[in-house]
């Protein structure tokens, strides 16, 4: 059976360029980038080449890029570092759990409500800032429903108030153009595996001149901002994936992804008991979240999987934690029953055909079982 992967918002398959860069790096002696022998210097060149590729991709200078083990560590570093300046942090109710939990572990937190589309009002977010606020957290685009936030407006407000702004761009990077230096953002976190790079590597972008206490202590790697031997092969793969995404390629991929998700939105409109969550217009190009009345998400996911389609539920109850989705709960919609379909760089019309072809029958079958 041909498989159709529609879970790119969770993780995206590695691009051929990233794989090639990693294989080439792993085939070399593998020196420590911090050493001055030939093997170490070769590794240093690989790391700094990738740093330049990631910096160019995200619109900043190489020295602003701090490599991490992924977006989760980048977020934790932002929260920990900001907490060293002041004890209070502000975030929207739809932020990823990595942001919410790291902020809560590092001081007091004000959580700002969102509307029914998952959008937080910039004024409401900024009104929560107090004299003790160290940082405001704002995701670029939501990981479950795709709703975009007003990053530029909040960035301007944070500058006026003298408070840091951290943007979680794990879902946006690779799908929307990002020019870090032009936006006035202080901190931005990204993950390589969301955009076709390898797992286990990401980056925290740090505004020029900003000093934060490091989360990981030990050696002086990453200019003493993140201790530990650099994963050279993974970093090289990250850089190669970023290098693919020049302005033209990024725009072309985003256009294709928007066309595919727009098609999903249009074709599910006639399905009984199915609705689309999130903003209909201000959303990431690659994510669609559907609310499905009366059917548990696990059954829908299993039905799709048997039809060869990999998808995910916006509700955490379909993964490790048997809890409703905090994002959907904050939006005031059914937090227990949803389906997230997300496309990416490798997605095709055939992938969407398979999902749309299978979904009506799966829902009808499950509803008939429920009725009986």
Contacts of 245 (CB under 8 A, 6+ apart): 57, 174, 195, 253
Radius of gyration (Cα) for the chain, nearest Å?
21
The SS3 assignment for 234 reads helix
d(CA 290, CA 309): 16
Q: Which of 79, 158, 289, 317 is catalytic?
A: 317
d(CA 234, CA 190): 14
Ramachandran angles phi, psi of 89, nearest 5°: -130, 150
Tell me if residue 317 is catalytic. Answer: yes
d(CA 257, CA 60): 26
Which of 199, 143, 134, 133 has its CA nearest to residue 168?
143
- Determine how β-strand 202-206 pairs with β-strand 65-68: antiparallel
Task: Compute CA distances 111 → 8, 108, 127, 161, 244, whole Å.
Answer: 28, 10, 12, 18, 37
- Determine how β-strand 164-168 pairs with β-strand 202-206: unpaired
d(CA 294, CA 369): 12
Q: Which residues are catalytic?
A: 317
């Amino acid at each position: 059976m041909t498989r159709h992967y529609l879970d790119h918002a969770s993780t995206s398959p590695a691009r051929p360029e990233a794989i090639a860069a990693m294989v080439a790096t792993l085939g070399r002696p593998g020196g420590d980038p911090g050493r001055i022998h030939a093997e170490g210097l070769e590794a240093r060149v690989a790391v700094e080449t990738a740093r330049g590729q990631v910096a160019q991709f995200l619109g900043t200078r190489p020295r602003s890029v701090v490599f991490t083990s992924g977006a989760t560590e980048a977020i934790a570093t932002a929260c920990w570092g900001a907490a060293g300046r002041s004890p209070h942090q502000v975030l929207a109710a739809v932020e990823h759990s990595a942001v919410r939990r790291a902020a809560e572990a590092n001081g007091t937190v004000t959580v700002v409500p969102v509307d029914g589309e998952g959008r937080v009002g910039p004024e409401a977010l900024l009104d929560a800032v107090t004299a003790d606020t160290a940082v405001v957290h704002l995701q670029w685009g939501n990981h479950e429903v795709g709703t975009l936030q007003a990053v530029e407006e909040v960035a301007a407000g944070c500058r006026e108030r003298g408070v840091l702004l951290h943007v979680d761009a794990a879902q946006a990077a690779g799908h929307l153009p990002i020019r870090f230096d032009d936006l006035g953002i202080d901190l931005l976190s990204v993950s390589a595996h969301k955009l076709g790079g390898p797992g286990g590597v990401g980056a925290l972008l740090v505004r020029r001149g900003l000093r934060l206490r490091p989360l990981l202590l030990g050696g002086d790697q990453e200019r003493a901002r993140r201790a530990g031997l650099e994963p050279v092969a993974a970093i090289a793969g990250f850089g190669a994936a970023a290098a693919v995404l020049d302005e033209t390629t990024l725009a072309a991929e985003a256009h294709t992804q928007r066309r595919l998700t727009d098609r999903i939105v249009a074709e599910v409109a006639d399905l009984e008991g199915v609705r689309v969550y999130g903003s209909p217009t201000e959303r990431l190009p690659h994510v669609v979240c559907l609310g499905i009345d009366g059917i548990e998400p696990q059954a829908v996911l299993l039905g799709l999987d048997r039809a060869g389609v990999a998808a995910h539920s916006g509700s955490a109850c379909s993964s490790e934690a048997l809890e409703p989705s905090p994002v959907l709960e904050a939006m005031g919609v059914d937090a227990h029953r949803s389906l997230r379909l997300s496309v990416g760089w490798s997605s095709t019309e055939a992938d969407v055909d398979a999902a749309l072809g299978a979904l009506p029958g799966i829902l009808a079958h499950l509803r008939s079982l429920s009725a009986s």
